[in-house]
């Protein structure tokens, strides 16, 4: 019973819930980027480099029992492009979040000391000199 309570406390902490939300959003964002790369970005690039679907670029290594063993470098290049777009998007989001956070953290300007504060500071300094 205690183990269940400890797990419940662990699962309900903010960090775990935040992490779960981030993983779910990240997975969905990955699907959006994959669709962008596969459906929007790669068709024009494929047209420019010969009209083939980028996924079809491969090197046939051998034929075994009627099946070709291939090195699918086109799919790999497409995955690298996906990764670069996701990494750049995350970089931009973090940059925006840091800029917003900096604006929030800007301290209010410190007002100049009042005449009373200046007078009290002088009295304090004089008292320190007498005690030394």
Helix (H) or strand (E) holding 113: none
pLDDT grade for 104, boundaries at 50, 70 and 90: confident
Write down the pLDDT at residue 114: 93
Write down the pLDDT at residue 132: 63
53: Cβ contacts below 8 Å, ≥ 6 apart: 42, 43, 46, 74
Q: Which domains does the chain have, with CATH numbers?
A: 2-131 (1.10.1200.120)
Write down the pLDDT at residue 52: 67
Q: Is the pTM of this model over 0.85?
A: no
Q: Are 108 and 67 in contact (CB under 8 A)?
A: no
């Amino acid at each position: 019973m205690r183990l269940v309570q400890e797990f419940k406390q662990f699962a309900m902490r903010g960090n775990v819930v935040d992490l779960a939300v981030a993983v779910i959003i990240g997975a969905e964002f990955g699907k959006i980027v994959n669709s962008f790369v596969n459906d929007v970005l790669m068709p024009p690039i494929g047209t420019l480099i010969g009209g083939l679907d980028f996924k079809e670029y491969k090197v046939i290594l051998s034929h075994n029992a009627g099946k070709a063993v291939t090195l699918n470098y086109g799919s790999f290049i497409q995955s690298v492009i996906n990764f670069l777009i996701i990494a750049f998007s995350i970089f931009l989001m973090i940059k925006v979040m840091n800029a917003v956070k900096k604006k929030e953290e800007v301290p209010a300007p410190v007002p100049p000391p009042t005449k009373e504060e200046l007078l009290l500071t002088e009295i304090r300094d004089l008292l320190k000199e007498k005690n030394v």
